[in-house]
Structure 1
């Protein structure tokens, strides 16, 4: 069984640049390796290594841009505070507290608390007592916070639309479907 955290195996005589000198072009559990052996689930054939490498490169580029919070900054939003707004929005309709922000952002509780305090100070989030558990405090978007999220969403969507403006409606639809399937499959 393949480890999902390791790259797919490179097969003997595979061209790491993605070429397939044998011309086999096999991929997936229904395909066969040269010689008739079936591929296991998650294994990638030599003809697909270049495709997978291209996806990896694109994902790295996306991740670097997200790490810099480029869209939030370019649209006028405060950089680290945008992460808190995104986490609160993603958790809806469930309530989210500081510990939930920490988990969503993959940071420790003190860092999440600092980011949350900045969002509260900026008037984008307010703290609200949890009605089911008096020991908990939930974070709620203010109208200003909702407006900030709407601005960032509009900015992102405009950039995405520009990037796809030469695509046909069918290509856009296919891309949306496949990207959604891809990101869903990556979710643990």
Structure 2
């Protein structure tokens, strides 16, 4: 389920509808895994496949309204959870946490 949600997040952030191969690269998975995730999301009604208008041989993956709603609802839930968790932090503690998380993100292996 986490991998399928990651698929929805990648699609929501994409500037243009990607192909399955492009999704695989963005998600850091192999093409067969991405294809299975897309198929499961199609069956769930969260995405649909469309012919690329620039190249009819190519298929693009597009979020459905239901898929977009899942991403938006989940992001809202995450934001609320973070706000609740940070409720007892002082401004200085929040600033220190932000600095440390930034340092961790910068050092994260890519």
What is the TM-score when the length of structure 1 is the normalising length? 0.50
Which protein, 1 or 2, shows the higher relative CO under an 8 Å CA cutoff with sep ≥ 6? 2
Taking a change above 3 Å as real, the CA distance of residues 136 and 178 of structure 1, as seen in their structure-2 partners, is farther
3-state DSSP of counterpart to 2:6: helix
What is the TM-score when the length of structure 2 is the normalising length? 0.80
**Which residue of structure 2 aligns with residue 17 of structure 1?**
none
Separation in 2 of the partners of 1:93 and 1:174? Answer: 33
Structure 2 runs not aligned, ≥5 long: none
Q: Which runs of structure 1 show a deviation greater than 6 angstroms over 4 or more consecutive aligned residues?
A: none
Residue-by-residue CA offset, 1:3-58 (whole Å, 9 max, x unaligned)? xxxxxxxxxxxxxxxxxxxxxxxxxxxxxxxxxxxxxxxxxxxxxxxxxxxxxxxx
Corresponding pairs, count: 110
Separation in 2 of the partners of 1:88 and 1:171? Answer: 34
**More helix, by proportion:** 2
Structure 1 runs not aligned, ≥5 long: 1-77
Q: Which residue of the other structure, out of 10, 19, 22, is the alignment partner of 1:97?
A: 19
**More strand, by proportion:** 2
